[in-house]
Amino acid sequence: MEERGSQPASKESKGDDVDINIDVTDQRGEGNLPLQKRAYFCFLFFDDLGGGGRRKLAVAAFLMIDSFSPSVVSLRMMQIDHGLKSPLAAMANRKHHHKALLLLLLLLLLPAFVFAVVFHGRKISYFLRPIWDAPPRPFARITHYYARDLPMNHLCHLHGWSSLPSPRQVFDAILFSNELDLLEIRYRELAPFVDKFVIMEANVTFTGDAKPLFFADNLDRFEFARSKIVHGTFLSQADPIPGTDPFRLEAKQRVALNSLLRTSGIGPGDVVIMADADEIPSPETVELLRWCDGVPPVMHLELRHYTYSFEFPVDYSSWRATAQLFHQGTRYRHSRQTDVMLADAGWHCSFCFREIEEFVFKMTAYSHADRVRRPSFLDPSRIQRIICKGDDLFDMLPEEYTFQEMIKKMGPTPKSASAVHLPSYLLENADKFRFLLPGGCSRSKQ
């Protein structure tokens, strides 16, 4: 075997052992030493692999590395004595070994990085949130006092407020999508304390798809509160254009609800509760708002947050619902409006549906429908498995601002066997709403 620029060498053949004979011509005429070093390194790097696999990988690796230089490479492999010490070995040194290894790692890691960004970009962003985002300023939480059979004047006094001679009127204003079971629980629970239920629903989803008017089609289910209901419909042309901003459509519906509220008979000083249908204030909270003089004019309601049912308590992170004393400048909003929040003021049950198809509908209809990154997310068997385990429907990391909190909340939400301090109507009708209670995670498919 002869190599350019070195003396011939020969050894007896020893079966499966392998060496490489390399002819390298540099088109630039600058010599072939660097290429020889890299070629020999590739052979050494894969020398532990067996047989033909070793030879193929050595050749492939050398060609990948040399693709970065304008050279013509000719490799000829033959079975000769493995013990032959090629002159290339004398030219390979630690520095060039490290450079070639780093280049190989780069070639392997770059596609993996691109794959991760394309398919898991949102998850990576959430994981790095403690680095690029800052937590909102903390709320000033008002301690919530309550015990059964305590008179209202005493409860108002415990909060530092005085009692009114007669109760305020209370208006409950919500946007409605398809949460019929939770809406029934909400209205049954609050009917003795609320003067008007103001509800707005649309014939399109936030993503622009046409949808039924679920509330209007099931109005007989709410006959018990019919005299208190102020129902409005937001009619729009379906326009499911890819890239349509769902928050823009949501904002339009909230503006429509604001107009509906002003036709409901509300007046200055009345209480208006602004929330989503699945954010339910407790009766004792509404009673404080009705009877106590001195409540803040705008106050967020801290709600116990559950997911899929009351079997999976998440935390007390739900704060968007508000109670306000109405005035002419009041506008329906579902965002932060003040630093004041009443503690433990009710329940927020996210994705708490009876049927699998209701989960699918909301996943594709609400403002965060872009979280459905793959069609498999909507598979009924997957959804059923997740809601019984307490995992995240969208395979998302927790939305936290510290790594400590994020790590603490990773994985499934722990199950709870407690059904204490839940809506009374829910427990009075436990058989009807078994899917919302501990042990009832199995859902029907239609």
Domain that holds residue 359: 140-436
Residue 393 · residue 351 · CB < 8 Å: yes
Query: Which of 61, 88, 107 is the last residue before a domain boundary?
Result: 107
DSSP 294: T
**Would you say residue 116 lies in a domain?**
no
Domain check: are 157 and 102 in the same one? no
- Tally of structural domains, the chain: 2
pLDDT at 243: 60
Instruction: Specify burial of residue 4 (Cβ count, 10 A radius: 0-12, 13-18, 19+).
Output: exposed
Task: Give the span between the Cα atoms of 215 and 362, in whole angstroms.
Answer: 15
Angle of CA points 56, 59, 64, to nearest 5°? 120
Query: According to the per-residue pLDDT averaged within each range, which of 32-46, 68-82, 395-409 is highest?
Result: 395-409
pTM of the model: 0.73
pLDDT at 37: 44
Residue 194 identity (one-letter amino acid)? V
Tell me which residue has tokens 């209480």: 271
Domain check: are 54 and 196 in the same one? no
Q: What is the mean pLDDT of residues 11-19?
A: 41
pLDDT at 248: 83
Task: Give the span between the Cα atoms of 340 and 143, in whole angstroms.
Answer: 11
Share of the chain above pLDDT 90, in %: 57
Q: Which two tokens stand for residue 106?
A: 């780069």
Q: Show Cβ contacts of residue 220 under 8 Å, excluding neighbours closer than 6 positions.
A: none
Residue 169: phi and psi, rounded to 5, are -80, 145
Q: Show Cβ contacts of residue 375 under 8 Å, excluding neighbours closer than 6 positions.
A: none
Domain check: are 247 and 305 in the same one? yes
**Would you say residue 419 lies in a domain?**
yes
Domain check: are 290 and 387 in the same one? yes
pLDDT at 113: 63
pLDDT tens across 377-394, in order?
999 999 999 999 999 998
Domain check: are 273 and 214 in the same one? yes
pLDDT tens across 381-435, in order?
999 999 999 999 988 877 787 888 888 888 999 999 999 999 999 999 999 999 9
Task: Give the span between the Cα atoms of 73 and 22, in whole angstroms.
Answer: 8
Task: Give the span between the Cα atoms of 155 and 161, in whole angstroms.
Answer: 9
Q: Which two tokens stand for residue 127?
A: 């994981």
**DSSP codes, 31-62:** -SHHHHHHHHHHHHHTTTS-HHHHHHHHHHHH
**Would you say residue 442 lies in a domain?**
no
Domain check: are 147 and 248 in the same one? yes
Domain check: are 179 and 320 in the same one? yes
**Would you say residue 375 lies in a domain?**
yes
Query: Which of 57, 87, 107 is the last residue before a domain boundary?
Result: 107
Domain check: are 254 and 197 in the same one? yes
Domain check: are 97 and 156 in the same one? no
Domain check: are 97 and 212 in the same one? no
Task: Give the span between the Cα atoms of 351 and 398, in whole angstroms.
Answer: 16
Query: Which of 56, 91, 107 is the last residue before a domain boundary?
Result: 107
- pLDDT class for 175, splitting at 50, 70, 90? very high
Domain check: are 58 and 188 in the same one? no
Please list the residues that pair with 204 across neighbouring strands. 210
Q: What is the mean pLDDT of residues 17-32?
A: 43
**Would you say residue 206 lies in a domain?**
yes
pLDDT tens across 189-239, in order?
999 999 999 999 999 988 888 999 999 999 999 999 999 999 999 998 776
Residue 276: phi and psi, rounded to 5, are -85, 165
**Would you say residue 220 lies in a domain?**
yes
pLDDT tens across 45-57, in order?
444 444 444 444 4
Question: Strand, helix or coil at 174?
Answer: strand
Res 91 pLDDT > 60: no
**Would you say residue 443 lies in a domain?**
no
Q: What is the mean pLDDT of residues 33-61?
A: 44
**Would you say residue 145 lies in a domain?**
yes
Domain check: are 99 and 151 in the same one? no
Q: Which two tokens stand for residue 415?
A: 């199950």
In this structure, the number of other CB atoms found within 10 A of the CB of residue 136 comes to: 10
DSSP 204: B
Residue 329 identity (one-letter amino acid)? G
